[in-house]
A = this chain, B = another copy of it.
Amino acid sequence: MAREEMAQVPAQDVARDASYAPTGRTVLTRARERAAYDHETVHAILDAGYLCHLGYVRDGAPVVLPTLYARAGDRLYLHGSTGSRPMRRAGETGETGHGADPGLPVCVTVTHVDGLVLAKSAFHHSINYRSVVVHGIAHQVIDEDEKTAALDALVDHVLPGRAADSRPGNAKELAATAVIRLDLREVSAKIRTGGPHDEPEDLELPYWSGVVPVAPAYGAPIPSDDLAPGTALPPYLTTR
């Protein structure tokens, strides 16, 4: 499975317009044909999900936590409570900053698995996927209007239209929620599609080869026990 693995990989020529400029951290060192930096590709991958894996450094060691996110233009918003560690750290006051927020260095990764790729040789097994890796400095969102808009975006990112169809947060709830923002500047996408790449001498082997597609499937909505009688299923749930 070596050639097909999912580690970080190489640059390619991309249009200056509407692309994220590759950096030392986002230039892929291998499988360069799988890299993409254009906004359209990157944003589509980000918008197709709502769960990211947020990485940060704590006491010199890495920490990776599953976290909800939403994209708004060239910015990501990540959700957390005011008590959680990365949220507190993203809002810490710098020693020399006189109240300024130095931010928290993070890496945010979003991955969608699209298929299992079965080759005739064990070595060429792979998976099809789309992933985006974002490096940057996260900051706590303090401004109340931005925070309210970000929380709406987080709800709507999972289910478009839902934010307007629920009771908005009150001042107490807003204070109890932390949101961090991360500008999309140092960003790369990586995509694998298609079937297996077997060695020519393996093609006559009697093993099945091909792709098993995979995608998230949403089941029939299960109403709460305490749902008020007569409450209709909203349109955004009948189409998901």
Interchain CB contact under 8 A, B216 and A121: no
Supplied contacts A7-B67, A50-B127, A64-B107, 8 more A-B pairs, CB within 8 Å: A7-B81, A7-B87, A54-B64, A55-B63, A122-B173, A198-B224, A203-B226, A208-B233
Q: How large, as a class, is the contact surface on chain A?
A: 35 or more
Q: In the complex, what residue of chain B is closest to A4 when comparing beta carbons?
A: B81
Interchain CB contact under 8 A, B64 and A108: yes
A158 interfacial by beta-carbon distance below 8 Å: yes
Q: Which of A11-19, A34-42, A91-99, A147-155 touches B?
A: A147-155
CB-defined A-B contacts under 8 Å, sample of 30: A1-B151, A1-B154, A5-B84, A6-B67, A6-B68, A7-B87, A8-B63, A25-B58, A25-B61, A51-B129, A53-B53, A53-B64, A53-B109, A62-B105, A64-B109, A66-B109, A68-B127, A121-B169, A122-B155, A122-B166, A122-B168, A127-B158, A166-B207, A208-B221, A208-B223, A208-B233, A209-B223, A209-B224, A209-B226, A213-B220
Which of B109, B209, B217 contacts A217, CB < 8 Å? Answer: B217
A3 CA / B51 CA spacing, docked (Å): 17
Interchain CB contact under 8 A, A208 and B227: yes
Q: In the complex, what residue of chain B is closest to A209 when comparing beta carbons?
A: B224
Contact partners of A209 in chain B: CB under 8 A:
223-224, 226-227, 231
Query: Given that A155-B1, A217-B214, A224-B209 are known contacts, is A66 also in contact with B167, CB under 8 Å in the complex?
Result: no
A57 CA / B225 CA spacing, docked (Å): 46
A106 CA / B225 CA spacing, docked (Å): 42
The A interface, classified by DSSP as helix, strand, loop or mixed, is mixed
Q: In the complex, what residue of chain B is closest to A58 when comparing beta carbons?
A: B25
